[in-house]
Amino acid sequence: MPDSLNASAQPDMAMPDTAVIRVDQLHALAGLLSLEEVAEQFSALSTVAQVSIFGLFEDALADVRAVLARTAASGE
């Protein structure tokens, strides 16, 4: 994953912004996958490709969770 998309590579003061960006990315990806035409194309992908796309969700959610945990720990 590029450092620009990795929450751990961002400065601490940008942690909440990073979480918002990652949630926005997840929302956009989920929006695409909810379209009938895209869902049909997704189902035609290989299992490896489908797993890779779900890996994007997993990575982004892990980043958001880490940011929220750090924010809660710092008392913000």
Question: What is the sign of the dihedral through the CA atoms of 42, 44, 47 and 48?
Answer: negative
Q: What is the mean pLDDT of residues 13-42?
A: 89
* Residue 17 confidence (pLDDT) above 70: yes
Tell me if the pTM is above 0.85.
no
**Band (1; pLDDT cuts 50, 70, 90):** very low
Distance CA 2, CA 24 (A): 17
Structure tokens at 21: 């960006």
First to last CA, the chain: 27
The alpha helices in the chain, defined as continuous H runs, are: 15-33, 36-44, 47-74
